[in-house]
Amino acid sequence: MKLKDKVAIVTGAGSGIGRAIALEFVKEGAWVLVSDVDHSGGEETVKMIRGQGKETSFFPADVSQAEEVQKMVSAAVERYKKLDILVNNAAINTMGDSQMITEEVWDKTIAVNLTGTFLCSKYAIAEMKNSGGGVIVNIASVEGLSGFSNQLAYSASKGGVINVTKCLAIDHARDNIRVNSICPADIETPMFTGYVDLEGLEPIKKHMLMQHAMRRFGKPEEVARVAVFLASEDSSYITGTNLIVDGGWMCGKNLDPAEILGWK
Ligand code: NAP
């Protein structure tokens, strides 16, 4: 058990990658406070964890609201007496270029994805310092590493998360707090299928798959295992880094002319 008796908060744990991380952490022996704005999703995750025979609880919080974040962190500490791990996973995906998106969409995307990461880290770090250290894992995106069409606000927010990770790592290494991020590419979750409904769109799906060297989309559990690694002592000398979990999406130009022409 890599996280035995560690206390973790996972934001956005009512769905997709956050839920998979919460479940994986519990399997590794952690106590997890499940948090999300989505009450029914959060309660469902709690039910799944209790189904594994482990106690947990749901704390609803909007990560963009400082007061709610403070209450979430206090709730974890009150219940479990300390805080060892924070996973900043909650996010929204918005589409549009500079001419399409409104200022409201821009503000909301930055507020949830970037300010949310800052706020949760700020209040979690204060608690971690009290108890001798901790670990933060930020879920960024490959879209934070590269430009991406029609994803201006999302891509900007995730680029920000990657640099927040590095700054926090530098500022708090001597508080015994490690901070790292994960950059997934296309992972099969409600966020991904909500953004691209590929039902009946085989040519588009084929094109998207061709951008991954491994020619498949990822599963939430494949990100969750990496989060366990970064949250555990297995990564004890790693801080300020960014781990890409993308089936080879970023490693080069994956389009294969022979495949496009149908030769293989
Ligand atoms: P998801 O299935 O949509 O789950 C995200 C969860 O966060 C949802 O339950 C959502 O609730 C919640 N949430 C949204 N706004 C929130 C807020 N203000 N405060 C608290 N919770 C909030 O998405 P996912 O695919 O698992 O994504 C998880 C993380 O991975 C995100 O950071 C995402 O950017 C990143 N990521 C995903 C992919 C991918 O392909 N799936 C790729 C790269 C990076 P609602 O459903 O009510 O909005």
State pTM to two decimals.
0.96
Tell how far CA 159 is from the center of its chain: 13
Instruction: Say which of 80, 123, 154, 195 is annotated catalytic.
Output: 154
172, 104, 148, 141: which is closest to 243 by C-alpha?
141
Residues with CB under 6 A from ligand 1: 11-12, 14-18, 36-38, 41, 62-64, 89-92, 112, 116, 139, 141, 184, 186-187, 189-192
- Distance from residue 33's CA to the centre of ligand 1 (Å): 17
The pLDDT tens digits for 217-227 are 999 999 999 99
Asked if 145 and 162 touch (Cβ cutoff 8 Å), the reply is: yes
DSSP string computed for 121-180: HHHHHHHHHHTT-EEEEEE--GGGTS--TTBHHHHHHHHHHHHHHHHHHHHHGGGTEEEE
CATH for 7-189+218-248, options being 3.90.1150.10, 3.40.50.1820, 3.40.50.720, 3.40.50.740:
3.40.50.720
* 237 noted as active-site residue: no
The pLDDT tens digits for 163-210 are 999 999 999 999 999 999 999 999 999 888 776 666 777 777 788 888
Atom of ligand 1 nearest to the CA of 65: 18
Atom of ligand 1 nearest to the CA of 12: 7
The Cα 51–Cα 30 span in angstroms is: 15
Which of 21-30, 111-120, 187-196, 220-229 is predicted with the least confidence, judged by mean pLDDT? 187-196
Nearest CA to ligand 1 atom 1: 191
Q: Is 231 exposed, middle or buried (0-12, 13-18, 19+ CB in 10 A)?
A: buried
Determine the pLDDT at residue 80: 96
